[in-house]
Amino acid sequence: MYKPSIFATLLLLSACGEAPISQTTGGEATVQPEAKPIALGETGKAAGVEITIDTIKTMGQIGPAGIGPKAEPTETFVVVKYRLKNTADKALGIAERPALSLADASGQSYAVDDMVGAMAMDSTDAASFSVDLNPGVATKAVSVWKIAKAGFDKATWKVTANTDPAMTFALQ
Protein backbone atom coordinates (compact mmCIF):
# COMPACT_ATOMS: atom_id res chain seq x y z
CA MET A 1 0.00 0.00 0.00
CA TYR A 2 1.31 3.44 -0.88
CA LYS A 3 1.95 5.60 2.20
CA PRO A 4 2.43 9.27 1.33
CA SER A 5 5.20 11.18 3.05
CA ILE A 6 5.68 14.92 3.14
CA PHE A 7 8.57 14.56 0.70
CA ALA A 8 6.52 12.41 -1.70
CA THR A 9 3.60 14.85 -1.53
CA LEU A 10 5.87 17.83 -2.26
CA LEU A 11 7.50 15.92 -5.08
CA LEU A 12 4.10 15.08 -6.56
CA LEU A 13 2.88 18.66 -6.27
CA SER A 14 6.04 20.04 -7.84
CA ALA A 15 5.47 17.79 -10.84
CA CYS A 16 1.87 18.92 -11.43
CA GLY A 17 1.34 20.10 -14.95
CA GLU A 18 4.42 18.46 -16.43
CA ALA A 19 3.83 15.89 -19.14
CA PRO A 20 5.27 12.44 -18.50
CA ILE A 21 8.52 11.71 -20.34
CA SER A 22 9.73 8.31 -21.47
CA GLN A 23 12.77 7.06 -23.32
CA THR A 24 12.54 5.61 -26.83
CA THR A 25 14.76 2.75 -27.95
CA GLY A 26 16.97 5.25 -29.78
CA GLY A 27 17.70 7.13 -26.55
CA GLU A 28 15.65 10.21 -27.46
CA ALA A 29 13.22 11.50 -24.86
CA THR A 30 9.62 11.76 -26.03
CA VAL A 31 6.64 13.38 -24.35
CA GLN A 32 3.74 11.03 -23.64
CA PRO A 33 0.24 12.47 -23.89
CA GLU A 34 -1.51 13.09 -20.55
CA ALA A 35 -4.24 10.63 -19.68
CA LYS A 36 -7.77 11.95 -20.05
CA PRO A 37 -9.08 13.22 -16.69
CA ILE A 38 -11.66 11.09 -14.90
CA ALA A 39 -15.14 12.56 -15.33
CA LEU A 40 -17.28 13.85 -12.50
CA GLY A 41 -19.21 10.90 -11.03
CA GLU A 42 -16.84 8.26 -12.45
CA THR A 43 -14.63 6.15 -10.20
CA GLY A 44 -10.85 6.33 -10.40
CA LYS A 45 -8.87 3.31 -9.23
CA ALA A 46 -5.33 3.21 -7.86
CA ALA A 47 -3.30 1.02 -5.53
CA GLY A 48 -5.57 0.25 -2.58
CA VAL A 49 -8.18 2.97 -3.15
CA GLU A 50 -11.07 4.07 -5.32
CA ILE A 51 -12.14 7.71 -5.51
CA THR A 52 -15.34 9.13 -6.99
CA ILE A 53 -15.88 12.90 -7.09
CA ASP A 54 -19.61 13.49 -6.67
CA THR A 55 -19.96 17.28 -6.71
CA ILE A 56 -17.91 20.42 -7.23
CA LYS A 57 -19.43 23.72 -6.15
CA THR A 58 -18.28 27.28 -5.68
CA MET A 59 -19.60 29.06 -2.60
CA GLY A 60 -19.20 32.45 -0.98
CA GLN A 61 -19.65 31.10 2.53
CA ILE A 62 -19.24 27.74 4.25
CA GLY A 63 -21.69 26.70 6.95
CA PRO A 64 -24.64 28.66 8.33
CA ALA A 65 -24.96 32.34 7.43
CA GLY A 66 -23.17 34.57 9.90
CA ILE A 67 -21.27 31.69 11.52
CA GLY A 68 -19.08 29.95 8.92
CA PRO A 69 -16.10 31.37 7.04
CA LYS A 70 -16.96 33.87 4.33
CA ALA A 71 -15.00 34.61 1.16
CA GLU A 72 -14.24 38.20 0.17
CA PRO A 73 -16.18 39.49 -2.89
CA THR A 74 -13.21 38.66 -5.17
CA GLU A 75 -12.80 35.15 -3.71
CA THR A 76 -14.70 31.88 -3.75
CA PHE A 77 -14.54 28.53 -2.00
CA VAL A 78 -14.22 25.51 -4.29
CA VAL A 79 -15.94 22.61 -2.50
CA VAL A 80 -15.27 19.05 -3.71
CA LYS A 81 -17.36 16.24 -2.22
CA TYR A 82 -16.10 12.76 -2.92
CA ARG A 83 -16.22 9.13 -1.87
CA LEU A 84 -13.13 7.16 -0.89
CA LYS A 85 -13.14 3.36 -0.77
CA ASN A 86 -10.39 1.18 0.72
CA THR A 87 -9.70 -1.66 -1.73
CA ALA A 88 -6.54 -2.83 0.06
CA ASP A 89 -6.29 -5.83 2.39
CA LYS A 90 -5.58 -3.78 5.53
CA ALA A 91 -7.07 -0.75 7.28
CA LEU A 92 -6.40 2.69 5.79
CA GLY A 93 -5.75 5.28 8.50
CA ILE A 94 -6.73 8.90 8.13
CA ALA A 95 -3.06 9.95 7.77
CA GLU A 96 -2.60 7.43 4.93
CA ARG A 97 -5.49 8.71 2.84
CA PRO A 98 -4.61 10.26 -0.50
CA ALA A 99 -4.69 14.05 -0.43
CA LEU A 100 -6.43 15.99 -3.17
CA SER A 101 -4.89 19.02 -4.83
CA LEU A 102 -6.54 21.66 -7.01
CA ALA A 103 -4.61 22.97 -10.01
CA ASP A 104 -5.33 25.62 -12.61
CA ALA A 105 -4.76 25.29 -16.36
CA SER A 106 -1.07 26.25 -16.03
CA GLY A 107 -0.47 23.59 -13.34
CA GLN A 108 -0.36 26.03 -10.37
CA SER A 109 -1.41 24.10 -7.24
CA TYR A 110 -3.58 25.61 -4.51
CA ALA A 111 -3.51 24.79 -0.79
CA VAL A 112 -6.48 22.91 0.65
CA ASP A 113 -8.15 24.36 3.75
CA ASP A 114 -8.83 21.36 6.01
CA MET A 115 -10.51 23.43 8.73
CA VAL A 116 -13.04 24.90 6.29
CA GLY A 117 -13.43 21.45 4.72
CA ALA A 118 -14.57 20.02 8.07
CA MET A 119 -17.18 22.80 8.28
CA ALA A 120 -18.37 22.04 4.73
CA MET A 121 -19.48 18.51 5.63
CA ASP A 122 -23.24 18.23 5.92
CA SER A 123 -24.95 15.77 8.27
CA THR A 124 -25.02 12.93 5.71
CA ASP A 125 -21.30 13.39 4.97
CA ALA A 126 -20.43 13.47 8.68
CA ALA A 127 -22.56 10.39 9.41
CA SER A 128 -20.55 8.27 6.96
CA PHE A 129 -17.11 9.71 7.81
CA SER A 130 -14.71 7.12 9.22
CA VAL A 131 -11.27 7.78 10.66
CA ASP A 132 -9.90 4.35 9.79
CA LEU A 133 -11.29 2.58 6.75
CA ASN A 134 -11.28 -1.19 6.94
CA PRO A 135 -10.89 -3.18 3.71
CA GLY A 136 -13.93 -2.84 1.46
CA VAL A 137 -15.32 0.14 3.42
CA ALA A 138 -16.08 3.54 1.88
CA THR A 139 -16.52 7.00 3.37
CA LYS A 140 -17.57 10.44 2.20
CA ALA A 141 -15.12 13.32 2.39
CA VAL A 142 -14.90 17.02 1.51
CA SER A 143 -11.97 19.15 0.38
CA VAL A 144 -12.19 22.95 0.17
CA TRP A 145 -9.92 25.57 -1.39
CA LYS A 146 -10.27 29.36 -1.09
CA ILE A 147 -9.18 30.95 -4.36
CA ALA A 148 -9.54 34.15 -6.42
CA LYS A 149 -12.88 34.11 -8.27
CA ALA A 150 -11.54 35.72 -11.44
CA GLY A 151 -9.20 32.92 -12.47
CA PHE A 152 -11.36 29.90 -11.65
CA ASP A 153 -12.59 27.91 -14.66
CA LYS A 154 -14.20 24.47 -14.23
CA ALA A 155 -13.40 23.69 -17.87
CA THR A 156 -9.62 23.93 -17.44
CA TRP A 157 -8.89 23.31 -13.74
CA LYS A 158 -8.38 19.81 -12.34
CA VAL A 159 -8.27 17.91 -9.06
CA THR A 160 -5.46 15.41 -8.57
CA ALA A 161 -5.28 12.64 -5.97
CA ASN A 162 -1.80 11.67 -4.76
CA THR A 163 -2.33 7.97 -5.36
CA ASP A 164 -0.17 5.38 -7.09
CA PRO A 165 -0.64 6.07 -9.96
CA ALA A 166 -1.90 9.64 -9.54
CA MET A 167 -5.53 10.20 -10.55
CA THR A 168 -6.63 13.42 -12.24
CA PHE A 169 -10.30 14.46 -12.24
CA ALA A 170 -12.11 16.92 -14.49
CA LEU A 171 -14.26 19.53 -12.72
CA GLN A 172 -17.23 19.26 -15.05
Per-residue pLDDT for 138 more than 90? yes
| 89 part of a folded domain | yes
**Quick one: average pLDDT of 113-135?**
80
Residue 1 in any domain: the answer is: no
- Per-residue model confidence (pLDDT) at position 128: 67
Report how far residue 22's alpha carbon sits from residue 40's, in angstroms, rounded to the nearest whole number: 29
Residues of the domain holding 34 = 6-170
Average pLDDT over residues 28-45: 78
Residue 63, pLDDT above cutoff 60: yes
d(CA 117, CA 144): 5
Domain total of the chain: 1
Q: Give me the pLDDT at residue 121, please.
A: 81
Q: What is the mean pLDDT of residues 111-129?
A: 79
91 in any annotated domain = yes
Average pLDDT for 97-111 = 95
Quick check: is 22 in a domain? Answer: yes
18 has a pLDDT exceeding 50: no
Backbone angles phi, psi at 108, to 5 degrees: -65, 125
